[in-house]
Amino acid sequence: MSQIDLTPEQQALKDNIRRFMAKEVVPLISAHERARTFPFELMPQLAELGYLGGTLSENDGGYGIDMPTWAMMMEELGYHWLSLRTMVNITNGSIKRIAAHGTPEQKEKYLRPVLAGKLKVCTGLTEPDTGSNIAGIQTRADLVGGEWVLNGRKLWITNGYNADVAMIVARTFSSDCDGKLSTFIVERAHAHYDVRKLDTMVLRCTGTAELGFNDVRIPKENLVGTEGSALSGTLKGLDAARLNIAMGAVGAAQSALDLSMEYVKQRKQFGRLIGSFQLIQKHIVDMTVRVEAARALGMRAAHALEAGKDVRQACSIAKLYATEAAHEVANMALQVHGGLGYSEDYPIERIFRDTRGGMIPEGTTEIQTLIAGREILGINAIA
């Protein structure tokens, strides 16, 4: 597996992650894929590896992991199982929000157990009529008699089926806020909102769900941060989220390439290894080019993030290219494997499905194109 200038410390961490994945994760994947379930018992161990809140400062309960190292870690998750990468990043979204804007009481009650891998969380942004346009959210929270009253629906919520706590973004109405977006902590055990599981083609183990809120009451103190601050906070976090998806896609593409290289050196047809055929070699070369280019774009964005630079263009381009390239690589890998590639007993089928999923969340391919165009030209094509 090719890498870009890993330090000795990064290489040691990567090797440790590989050993953990091979021993604890890989043996579980097939059974969970068939059952569409997730092994939450792994989360405390992932926390010890730095996967939960790892980029936070040590004062906030993290490890102070830099962004290039984090990008490498995301690639390793994607290499082994994109559903795992997704669940880790969904958890980290809530961790970062509470760490940055939560009260001391919220950090003690929610952040500490999430960091330890003992509390399951989700984030409710997307709605039936709201996808890429976060500003169009219609779920509302009204302050009534010292409580927030939530009404609305959230759709395609990753881990929504399993979550103990949901971070819900809603349009807020109170004496201090007239319809701007805020974030609320909603405990499933106390709020009793509706949950409907959604089976999807991609990322089958991530507990995707629809959430329904019908006069759901939550304590006033469950507001995260100030009223009306959720839109800017959410948009600010999208750059890192897009990098996470990009590097997970790189890992999945590298896995498909590695499996293909191994296969073409063993499979024989017409009395020859199929790796000796020119068109098979073209597939391998095309896959390698895409993986290497996607990794370079992702690591470039990671270094820019670490340096505190404006990374909207870099992260959008990284996600745009890496997610499309990963699915192209998976498609070529399936072609190289022939009928074996269709089998649910072999990873290529899963990688093919899951890489298709990267082109939708945190802004679709089309949205990434428009963001990059705006940054390059200085002309906004988004209405």
Q: Which residues are catalytic?
A: 362
Query: Cβ(116)–Cβ(291) under 8 Å?
Result: no
d(CA 47, CA 216): 32
d(CA 38, CA 186): 22
What token pair was written down for 55? Answer: 């980029």
φ, ψ at 51 (rounded to 5°): -80, -15
Exposure string of 234-258, with b = 16+ CB inside 10 Å and e = fewer, is: beebbbbbbbbbbbbbbbbbbbbbe
Where would I find the H helices in the chain?
Answer: 8-20, 26-35, 43-48, 67-80, 82-101, 104-106, 112-115, 188-191, 230-264, 278-306, 312-337, 347-356, 365-377
3-state SS assignment for residue 143:
strand
What token pair was written down for 363? Answer: 């802004």
Residue 186: strand pairing partners:
166
